[in-house]
Amino acid sequence: MKITGVRVTLVKSRDDRLKAYCSITLDNEFVVRDIKIIEGINGLFIAMPSRKMSDHCAKCGGKNHLRAKFCNTCGAPLPDSRTKEEPTGRSKLHADIAHPINVKCRQSMQQKIVAAFQAEVKRSMQPGYKRVPLEEMDDDIPDIVG
C-alpha cells in the first residue's frame, strides 16, 4: 500500500492544538478523510477519523453517546459508569473508523502527512494563498454510483 496523495486544509485558529485536517489517497484508489493534524507536547501527530462511542438505554433501547446523562429517546437517567477505561486510566469515548494496524504504517503515514502539512503552511505564507475548504478537498476524485 502506498500513499499516492495527501491534501491538507489548515484550520483558521492557529492558537488551537488542532492545526489541520487532511485526506490521504491510497494506491490511487481509496481515500481516508478527516485525519486530524494535532500539535502535542512532543510535536505534531495525526489522529485518525473516529466516531463517538455509544450504548443503549436499559429502559427504552435508545442509542446514546457515553457522556450523556439522560436518554435522548425517553429521558431516563443513565448510569455514570458506562465507559471502558484505557490503560492510561482515561475513559474510551471514541473509536477509530480507519487506522493503521502497526507502528511502521502509522509512522509512514505520519511522516508523509506532517511533511504535506509543513508544505501547506509554507504555501499559506505566500501572497494570494487561498485555503481549500474541507468540503472541496476531494472534488477531483469522481463519485462512483451504482
- In DSSP notation, 13-82 reads -SSSSEEEEEEEEETTTEEEEEEEEEEETTEEEEE--EEE-EEE-TTT--EEETT-SB-TTT--B--S--
- The verdict on 66 and 91 lying in the same domain is yes
Q: Residue 146: what pLDDT?
A: 32
The answer to whether 11 and 20 have CB atoms below 8 angstroms apart is yes
How far is 57 from 63, CA to CA, in rounded Å? Answer: 6
Asked if residue 145 belongs to a domain, the reply is no
- The verdict on 36 and 102 lying in the same domain is yes
Tens of pLDDT, residue by residue over 34-80, are 999 999 999 999 999 988 888 888 889 898 888 889 999 999 999 88
C-alpha cell at 98: 480507519
- The verdict on 116 and 103 lying in the same domain is yes
Domain enclosing residue 61, as ranges: 52-95
How far is 88 from 85, CA to CA, in rounded Å? Answer: 8
- The verdict on 8 and 39 lying in the same domain is yes
Task: Compute the average pLDDT of residues 14-30.
Answer: 89
How many domains are contained in the chain?
2
Whether pTM exceeds 0.85: no
